[in-house]
Amino acid sequence: MALTVGVIGAGQLARMMIPAAVNLGIELKVLAEADGMSAELAAVSVGDYRDLPTVLAFAKTVDVLTFDHEHVPQEILRELVREGIIVHPGPDALLYAQDKLLMREKLAELGLPIPDWARITDAAGLADFLQAHGGRAVVKTARGGYDGKGVRVVSHEHDVDDWFLALAEDGNDGALLVEELVHFSRELAQVVARRPNGEIAVWPVVETVQKDGVCAEVIAPAPQSAGRLADVATDIAVAVAVGIGVTGVLAVELFQTTDERLLINELAMRPHNSGHWSIDGSTTSQFEQHLRAVLDLPLGATGARDPWTVMVNIFGGPASGSLGDRYAGAFAQHPLVKVHNYGKASRPGRKVGHVTVGGDDLDEVAYQARATAQLFQDTAPINE
Amino acid sequence: MALTVGVIGAGQLARMMIPAAVNLGIELKVLAEADGMSAELAAVSVGDYRDLPTVLAFAKTVDVLTFDHEHVPQEILRELVREGIIVHPGPDALLYAQDKLLMREKLAELGLPIPDWARITDAAGLADFLQAHGGRAVVKTARGGYDGKGVRVVSHEHDVDDWFLALAEDGNDGALLVEELVHFSRELAQVVARRPNGEIAVWPVVETVQKDGVCAEVIAPAPQSAGRLADVATDIAVAVAVGIGVTGVLAVELFQTTDERLLINELAMRPHNSGHWSIDGSTTSQFEQHLRAVLDLPLGATGARDPWTVMVNIFGGPASGSLGDRYAGAFAQHPLVKVHNYGKASRPGRKVGHVTVGGDDLDEVAYQARATAQLFQDTAPINE
C-alpha cells in the first residue's frame, strides 16, 4: 500500500515535493487554497486551511500531514493532534514559526545567539529600545510577515504607529518585536532535517543574497565557510531543531556579523528557498528529505554533488515572449543549467522559478546561473 | 502559456517524465491504456491507442505527441501527421522500432554493423541459415517482442514451427528474423537524443547486464570504454539517429563481440532502461532530454555527475512487508542510494522500480546499488 503524505498549501514548496514523491512512489495529496495553484499536479482538494472540518476530512485520507506554509492556526493543529492525526512539524514547534515574539523568547531561553530584542506595545517602548541601540532598529510584526513584509527599519519612535494602532484595534494584547540593527557582513542559512525519532541530517551551510528583503541567490556551500564557521552554523541549527522539537525540514537564517558572530535571524519549518539548490546540487534534496522525515524514514545523504552550486531565483516570470522562446534562448546558451518553473502567474517581484548550476569554478557557475535567470525575467537584473 | 506534451502510454517511462515536466513547468498529458497505470499522476485520459478518434482527440489537446511505447499502429500515426499533429518520433522512424525485419534491412542499407541476419518464412529457410552459421541462431518475431519475449535461441529447423504457423494463419505475408548467435563479451547501450532541427546529444556509453533476457543492471560509463570504443558507439548511434530520422531519445543496444566489434542488437525510440541512470547520474536526464527534444528545444548537457553510476532494476516489487518497512531498512543502510518506485502492482519478474548510486569507486557503488535493490525484492538475487 502506498505511503501517503498530505500537504496543507499548494504553492511551489508543495509543487517541488511532487518529483520526490513520484520517484519514491509516495502518494502526495494537497489541500489547496484555490484552483490553479502551483502544486495542482498532485491530487488536489480545494478548501480553507482555517476550517477545521475541511482540514480534518483531508487529514483523514493521509498517513501524515505536513505543510507548504506555516499559517494553519494553532487551534486547528491541536485539534488534529487530539483526533489522532500525525502532524509534522507539530503544533508545539510550529508555534515558534508562527509568532516571532514567541520564537525570540524561546531562542533566548535555549541560550542561542540572537540579536538584541524587545517586546514593545507602544512608541515609548520603541523609543527606549532606539535609545539603547544607537537610534536605529528593526521592527517586525509578530505574525504574518514573510519575504520582507511585516519588517520595517526604523529610526524614530513613531515609525510604526500604524502597526501599534492595528494591534490596539485587534484588542488581542498583541505586541511588536523590535531588534537591534545587526551589522552583518553577509547572510547565511543552515538547513537541516529532523525525524520524529531524533535523527538529524545537515546540508552544507549556504550564503544567501537578499534583494529588497527577498532571497535572490544562494551559494552552496557558503564561500569561506569550511571549518569552524560551518560547525557553529550546524550546532546552532541542530540546537534549534532539538530545542524546539522540529520534525521535517528546518531552515535557520543567520547573520554573520561584522564582528564574526553568527546570530539567528529567522526560522522556517518547511523546505525553504535557501535549500532549493539541493534539488540538483545534493544527493538528497530538501523535498525528498522532508517527505522522508515526516514519514519517520531514515534520512538521505546531504553532501553537495559539486564543489559549488549556485541557485538564482526568477522573479516576475516570463512577461514577454512565450515560455518556449525563453527556453529556446536559455537552453541554447546554458546547457548545464537546471531550470525550475513553478507554473505560477507572473507578477512583478513574485518568485516564479529558479535556476541552479553546479561545477568546479564558483565564478563560472554563478555567471551561468545569473545569466540564465535573467533570460526568464523582464524586471531589473538581480545583480546590478 | 504552458508547453504541453502528450504521451501515448502510461507506464513507467511516462511516469518518469513527470518530474522533468514538473521542474520545467511543462504540462504533461497521458493517454493511458487503463486506470491505475504507473503515470497516473499526470493528467490522464483513458483510451485505446489503436483507435484513431481517441488518439486524435487526445492529440488535439497538446503541442506535441510522443510515446511511452512503440505500439501505436502506423496507419494511426500517419493519419495524425496528415491532420497536422506534431508527432515525435514520427511514423517513418517508428516503423523501424516496430518491425525488426525492416530495422535490419534499413541498418544494412545504412552500412551499419549488425549481426548476420536473414528473413525467413519457413523451416527450410531456417535450416539454410543454421547450416551457414554453425548450427545455432536466434530467431525473433518481427513485431511485438520486448524484454526477451519473441526471442528464441534455436539449433533445429523446426524450433519455431509454432511461429511459422501463426504467421501463416495471419496471412499477412509475415516473416521471422533470424540472426547469427553473436559471441559477445558484454552488452553496451548508447543513448542519444535528437531534435527535429538535427541537434544531437550523447550520453556516455554504458554497459548493460541482462538476466533472463531482461536488463538487470547498468554501469555508466561502461568500464574500459574510454577512447575509441566510446567514439565508435557514439558514431553508430548518431548514424542510426540521423539515418532513420529519429526525434527524441534513441537507445541503441550493442554487442561488444569477443573479436572486439560493436554490433547493433536492438533499437528503442524512447527513453530506455539503459538510460535510467541519467536521472540521478547525468546533468540532464533522458526524460528531461526527451521532453526538450520533442519540443524542439536546445538539448542539455549529458555529462556524468560522478565517475561511476550504477543502476539496478527492482523486479517483482515489495512482496512481503509494507513499502514503509522496505524503505526503513534500505534508507538506514544505504543513505546515498536513490530509489525509484514505479507504483506498479508487483508480479514476479516485472520491473517495478530501480535504484541508482553514484560515486568514485565502482565496486562500492555497485555493491550499494545491488544490495539496496535486493532489499526491495523477494525473488532470487540479481547477482547470484
Q: What is the pLDDT of residue B384?
A: 33
Specify the CATH number for the domain of residue A142. Answer: 3.30.1490.20
**Whether residue A243 sits in one domain with residue A148:** no
The answer on pLDDT for A126 being more than 50 is: yes
Tracing cell 560509463 back to the chain, one arrives at B221
The answer on pLDDT for A381 being more than 60 is: no
**Whether residue B306 sits in one domain with residue B247:** yes
Q: Do A25 and B343 touch (CB under 8 A)?
A: yes
Q: What is the pLDDT of residue B148?
A: 63
Q: What is the pLDDT of residue B320?
A: 61
As a whole number, mean pLDDT of residues A233-251 equals 98
pLDDT tier, A34 (very low <50, low <70, confident <90, very high otherwise): confident
- Determine contact: B322 vs chain A, CB below 8 A: yes
Percentage with pLDDT > 70 across chain A: 96
Q: Do B25 and A341 touch (CB under 8 A)?
A: yes
pLDDT tier, A377 (very low <50, low <70, confident <90, very high otherwise): confident
Q: Which residues of B touch A306 (CB under 8 A)?
A: 305
Specify the CATH number for the domain of residue A207. Answer: 3.30.470.20
pLDDT digits (tens, 9 = 90+) for A182-200: 999 999 999 999 999 999 9
Q: Which residues of A touch B297 (CB under 8 A)?
A: 324, 327-328, 331
The domain boundary, picked from B145, B160, B180, lies at: B180
Q: Which residues of B touch A342 (CB under 8 A)?
A: 25
**Angle CA B194–A369–A276, to nearest 5:** 95
pLDDT digits (tens, 9 = 90+) for A11-33: 999 999 999 999 999 999 999 98
Q: Counting Cβ atoms within 10 Å, is residue B165 exposed (0-12), middle (13-18) or buried (19+)?
A: exposed
Q: What is the pLDDT of residue B347?
A: 82
- Determine contact: A182 vs chain B, CB below 8 A: no
Q: Do B24 and A283 touch (CB under 8 A)?
A: no
CA dist A316 and B297 (Å) reads 22
Q: What is the pLDDT of residue A317?
A: 53
Q: What is the SS3 assignment for A220?
A: strand
The answer on pLDDT for A154 being more than 50 is: yes
What are the residues whose beta carbons fall under 8 Å from the beta carbon of A229, sequence distance 6 or more? A205, A222, A256, A262
**Whether residue B367 sits in one domain with residue B281:** yes
Q: What is the pLDDT of residue B381?
A: 41
In a domain, A339, yes or no: yes
- Determine contact: B165 vs chain A, CB below 8 A: no
In a domain, B92, yes or no: no
- Determine contact: B23 vs chain A, CB below 8 A: yes
pLDDT digits (tens, 9 = 90+) for A48-92: 999 999 999 999 999 999 999 999 999 999 999 999 999 999 999
A79 is in an annotated binding site: no
Domain that holds residue B212: 184-375
CA B275 remoteness from chain centre? 8
**Whether residue A176 sits in one domain with residue A188:** no
CA dist A239 and A249 (Å) reads 14
Contacts 24+ apart (CB under 8 A), B86-93: B87/B59, B88/B64, B88/B196, B88/B247, B88/B248, B88/B293, B88/B294, B89/B245, B89/B246, B89/B247, B89/B248, B89/B250, B89/B269, B89/B270, B90/B245, B90/B247, B92/B244, B92/B245, B93/B244, B93/B245, B93/B246, B93/B247, B93/B269
By the 8 A CB rule, do B85 and B59 touch?
Answer: yes
Q: What is the pLDDT of residue A380?
A: 43
The domain boundary, picked from A142, A165, A180, lies at: A180
Across the interface, of B22, B300, B339, the residue whose CB is closest to A18 is: B22
**Whether residue A57 sits in one domain with residue A166:** no
In a domain, A283, yes or no: yes
B7: closest CA among B42, B53, B37, B50? B42
**Whether residue B154 sits in one domain with residue B61:** no
CA dist A180 and B140 (Å) reads 78
- Determine contact: A76 vs chain B, CB below 8 A: no
The Cβ of residue B74 has, within 10 Å, a number of other Cβ atoms equal to 13
- Determine contact: B334 vs chain A, CB below 8 A: no
**Whether residue B322 sits in one domain with residue B228:** yes
Q: What is the pLDDT of residue A221?
A: 98
Provide the number of structural domains found in chain B: 3
In a domain, A382, yes or no: no
In a domain, B188, yes or no: yes
**Whether residue B346 sits in one domain with residue B217:** yes
Q: What is the pLDDT of residue B168?
A: 86
Mutation site, B24, B311, B325, B344, interface A, largest A CB count within 10 A: B24
Q: What is the rounded average pLDDT for all residues in chain A?
A: 93
pLDDT digits (tens, 9 = 90+) for A253-294: 999 999 999 999 999 999 999 999 999 999 999 999 999 999
Q: Give pLDDT tens digits along chain B (384 positions).
A: 579 999 999 999 999 999 999 999 999 999 998 888 888 777 788 999 999 999 999 999 999 999 999 999 999 999 999 999 999 999 999 999 999 999 999 999 999 999 999 999 999 999 999 999 999 999 999 987 656 678 999 999 999 999 999 888 887 788 999 999 999 999 999 999 999 999 999 999 999 999 888 899 999 999 999 899 999 999 999 999 999 999 999 999 999 999 999 999 999 999 999 999 999 999 999 999 999 999 999 999 999 999 999 999 999 854 567 889 899 999 999 999 999 999 888 888 889 999 999 999 999 999 999 999 999 876 444 433
- Determine contact: A360 vs chain B, CB below 8 A: no
**Whether residue B338 sits in one domain with residue B200:** yes
Across the interface, of B41, B300, B342, the residue whose CB is closest to A335 is: B300
The answer on pLDDT for A201 being more than 90 is: yes
Handedness of CA B61, B70, B34, B315 (dihedral sign): negative
Across the interface, of A2, A23, A339, the residue whose CB is closest to B323 is: A2
**Whether residue B253 sits in one domain with residue B300:** yes
Q: Which residues of B touch A300 (CB under 8 A)?
A: 331, 335-336
By the 8 A CB rule, do A29 and A43 touch?
Answer: yes
Q: What is the pLDDT of residue B273?
A: 97
**Whether residue B303 sits in one domain with residue B201:** yes
pLDDT tier, A378 (very low <50, low <70, confident <90, very high otherwise): low
Q: What is the pLDDT of residue B145?
A: 61
In a domain, B97, yes or no: no
Across the interface, of B3, B332, B335, the residue whose CB is closest to A301 is: B335
Specify the CATH number for the domain of residue A72. Answer: 3.40.50.20
In a domain, B304, yes or no: yes
The domain boundary, picked from B44, B71, B87, lies at: B87
Q: What are the residue ranges of helices labelled H in B133-206? A: 161-170
Q: What is the ipTM of this complex?
A: 0.92
Mutation site, A1, A15, A17, A23, interface B, largest B CB count within 10 A: A23
Q: Which residues of B touch A42 (CB under 8 A)?
A: 41
- Determine contact: A1 vs chain B, CB below 8 A: yes
As a whole number, mean pLDDT of residues A312-330 equals 82
- Determine contact: A356 vs chain B, CB below 8 A: no
What are the residues whose beta carbons fall under 8 Å from the beta carbon of A28, sequence distance 6 or more? A4, A5, A7, A14, A17, A18, A21, A42, A43, A291
In a domain, B20, yes or no: yes
**Whether residue B276 sits in one domain with residue B153:** no
CA dist B287 and B18 (Å) reads 8
| Count of A-B CB contacts under 8 Å | 118
